[in-house]
Structure 1
Amino acid sequence: MSRKITFLTLFLWLMTVTFPVIAQQKTDTTYTFRFVPQKDMFYVPWNGNDTELARLLECIENNKATILDGKLPLLVDGYCNSLGGEAENLATAKIRANRVKSELIIRAKIKEENFITRNHVTEGDFVTVRLTVPVKGTAVTDAEAEARRKAEAERLETEKRAEQERLAEEQRKAEEEARLAAEKAEAEKTAQQNKLTDTPSETKITNDYHFSLHANLLRWATLTPDLGAEWRICPSWSIAVNGSWTSLSWSDKERRYALWEVAPEVRYYMGEKKAWYLGAMFKAGQFNYKLSETGKQGDLMGGGITAGYQLRLNKSLDLDCNLGLGYLNVDFEKYEVIDDVRVRRGNETKDWYGPINAGVTLVWKLF
């Protein structure tokens, strides 16, 4: 009997000593909210999130006064590891945590300062909210609340500093990329300018002159001196005039070849190099041919369309190849020479449609 009394007394003493210690302990309650991998939207009805949210709101309501006083912060941890890089995972974890906090702020009427937030790039795709709820009859001391507020302030300062460093690094990279792009563009521009300098005949306008003299080499080859001039009004338009004259006789003047012609022309130059052209030409002149017993002497007049191309030889010389098609009217008389006297043998008039001019002309650009 004495042993039973002694054992009961010892048990009561242990309970007296141990119970206050147990009463001062705190219980941690964790609530987990699941997220779709690679997404940051908070779907409340999905994967049991609605049940967890209801439990958490009930716990907040039961401890709301303590939470609002700052003595019982909500510990929020955001997680993400389903994206490619650490920075992307950390940013998504932060967004997820903020979405959960926004839901609690709206539904439970609490404030941002009532949370302590941390974000992680490991473990999975979820957000946890943890409360260290004291057992009934105990309270969080002012020192503990102050320590928690200080820890939260330090955390926010660290996150702010990290965000500033990240932005500074992104700006530095952007400036470096812009500098490299500018250097590349400048190098390409310089190379293009060098190319233009090295190949002027391919890139500059071939006919960059204002006034030039012409000599039709085909006419000279037939012993018919031919000279002309061209005034370049602008890069696309010019006015030209050509003249030919010759007077030859042989076999004691029994044979004769004489003529003169004047051919004014308006030209329009085309293309990037202004080398091809189309023109409109008028031609007038007189002739005297006696290459057999019967000679022909008369007038010619007509005109047509010309086309040509100027090939650059050097800075001062071009070679102009051209052809004219159109109409000529020839009015002439036939004659014979008897005892050095011309005897008329009749008149004729002919119309000609076809080539009226051809030339391989040397162009000398004066200025």
Structure 2
Amino acid sequence: MKHIVCILLFFVGLSVSAQKVAVKTNVLYDATTTLNLGVEFRVAPKWTIDLSGNYNPFEFSDNKKMKHWLVQPEARYWLCEAFNGHFFALHALGGEFNVGNMDLGIFPSTKGARYEGGMYGAGIGYGYQFILGNHWNLGLEIGAGWIHANWDKYECPQCGEWQGSGKKDYFGVTKAAVSIIYIIK
């Protein structure tokens, strides 16, 4: 609990010293029914710190589910100025998942099975923000890197006997974003 309080105080301190703070949502995640919210703080004229959280609690017909939570902190270096134009990024990620009866390409196959576990990773990214108005931006970003996942496999998507454990290292896209951004000045 002490660590969480220290992290929150750190971000509050950043927001006090920063001249700009932005809140955002990634519409690509929204399209997958994943609820998400991001907050970005300017910490220097060309540097920002972004923290996004994603959560999907939904289950669909035929026992299909892509339940997960994910946190992605990111440091961004802007070529012009913060919240304007091109940027390069370094991000980390971590979360847990419960996926069943879907073919996502990351796991061997979740058709007729359920995978439950955790993941962590890191990557680099490139993005661009378009200024739409005094407080509104449109952000685009693509990132690539590594994700390590550990899971337990179960017999069927909803219930079933444990069938073993597995792990996988994935190299590829680790972030994709089309974000609607509101900048608080």
TM-score by length of 2: 0.79
Greater share of helix residues, 1 or 2?
1
Question: Following TM superposition, where does structure 1 have runs of at least 4 consecutive aligned residues deviating by more than 3 angstroms?
Answer: none
Instruction: Report what 1:205 is aligned to.
Output: none
Structure showing greater Rg: 1
Is there any run of 5+ residues in structure 2 with no aligned partner, and where? Answer: 1-18, 102-110
The aligned runs of 1:194-205 (5 Å cut-off) are none
Pick from 95, 101, 115: which aligns with 1:285?
Answer: 95
2:65 equivalent in structure 1:
256
**Alignment match, 1:366:** 184
Query: Does 1:217 pair with 2:35?
Result: no
The whole-number CA distance in structure 2 between the counterparts of 1:322 and 1:251 is: 32
Secondary structure of 1:220's aligned partner: helix
Partner of 1:347: 165
Task: Count residues with an aligned counterpart.
Answer: 158
**CA shift for structure 1 position 226:** 1.2
Where structure 1 has 5 or more consecutive residues not aligned to the other structure, the ranges are 1-208
What's the Cα RMSD here? Answer: 2.0
1:303 corresponds to: 122
For 1:262, the aligned partner's letter is V
TM-score, normalised via structure 1 length: 0.41
What's the offset of the Cα at 1:259? 0.3
Which residue identity is paired with 1:345? Q
1:269 aligns to what? 78
Q: Which amino acid aligns with 1:325?
A: A
Q: Deviations over 1:291-344 (max 9, x none)?
A: 231111111100011110000111110001001111110111111249x74311
1:296 maps to amino acid: Y
Structure 1 or 2: larger strand share? Answer: 2
For 2:44, what is the secondary structure of its paired residue? coil
Say if 2:45 and 2:81, in contact at 8 Å, map to a contact too.
no
Instruction: Note the alpha carbon deviations across 1:23-50, whole angstroms, 9 max, x for none.
Output: xxxxxxxxxxxxxxxxxxxxxxxxxxxx
Report the AA paired with residue 347 of structure 1: S
1:257 and 1:248 map into 2 onto residues whose CA distance is 7
State how 1:1-367 maps to structure 2 within 5 Å. 210-251=20-61, 254-271=63-80, 274-291=84-101, 292-337=111-156, 341-367=159-185
Change (3 A) 1:316 1:272: closer
Which structure has the higher relative contact order (CA within 8 Å, separation 6+)? 2
- Give the share of equivalent positions with the same residue, in percent: 29
